[in-house]
Amino acid sequence: MGAGHGHGHGVTSGAGKHRWRLAVAFGLVAAFFVVELSVGIVSGSLALISDAGHMAADVVALGAALLATKIAARPDTTGRRSYGSYRAEIFASGLTVLLMLGVSAYVVIEAVSRIGEDVEVQTGPVLVVGFIGLAINVVSILLLRSGAKESLNIKGAYFEVVADAAGSVGVMIAALLIIVTGDTYWDTLVALAIGLFVAVRAVTLGRQVLAVLGQHIPEGLDIDAVATELAGVPGVGDVHDLHAWSLTSGMNVATAHLVLSPGADSQSVLLEAQRLLRSDHGIEHATLQVEDEPTKHCEEVTW
């Protein structure tokens, strides 16, 4: 008997279509990280060092996202991944969340430890590097914005870059406030604000990652409406065991049992139900079982 038809055959996912955008953003961010960290250490700016730390997380996150798109598109040669390796993109998003939380915790702890200390900050280099960082982040945002709507993997990278852009703005604000007031504690306060902002973005993305890994109903999909519409397909008498989840961003999957009305043509029912799920709900892969009446096995299932 031949192996069943699998789905690890190199279909391009939402993130795969934007791989080149990830690659460009990765190159820009990696190059700037070295500059920002060096200037942060020389200038003594915690705000700049904290933003560089977040930039380091960006480098890893963008690299992981880029690698994940490659893995996700790779055909399965083992015969054991019937759904392919598309979940690699979700795991990369999870890594991004952990990195963002780690950087946020470090920045907050370091900022709190600096409270009350007299710290010297060289504002000139901080302003220049902050401006360059903002320019690079804006370019990266423009590169990743469209892909973020289609892929949770790219959305993670996009969130990282948005947080970095906010960090760059914060760095420049801190430098300007120090110049105007002469008080260096603004650097610490801005660093603390950056850390908290990154944490909030991480939690938001983390909830979406857990929803996919937990096989929740895809966001925006009304499962009750789907059941009602399937029950309204000509020839369908009842619908049960309906499940829907996301394999990865842009790849929704569903299964259902359709009980036929007396005299209904099973093939016509099947084709119409698949068309409805595909065109009206964006579910391109649906496994539908057509039956004349509920089977004994369905009635005995306890979960």
The reported pLDDT for the residue numbered 1 is 37
Q: What is the DSSP string of 224-235?
A: HHHHHHHHTSTT
User: How many angstroms separate the CA atoms of 67 and 272, rounded?
Assistant: 38
The reported pLDDT for the residue numbered 11 is 46
The reported pLDDT for the residue numbered 234 is 95
Stretch 257-286: mean pLDDT, rounded? 93
User: What would the pLDDT profile of 127-141 be if each residue is shown by its tens digit?
Assistant: 888 888 889 889 989
User: How many angstroms separate the CA atoms of 262 and 296, rounded?
Assistant: 19
Q: Strand order of the sheet with strand 251-260? A: 236-248, 251-260, 285-291
Predicted structure pTM score: 0.73
Kindly tell me if the per-residue pLDDT of 74 is higher than 50: yes
User: How many angstroms separate the CA atoms of 195 and 161, rounded?
Assistant: 14
User: What would the pLDDT profile of 224-247 be if each residue is shown by its tens digit?
Assistant: 999 999 999 999 999 999 999 998
Report how far apart the first and last C-alpha atoms of the chain are (Å, whole number): 31
The reported pLDDT for the residue numbered 4 is 44
Would you call 244 helix, strand, or coil by DSSP?
strand
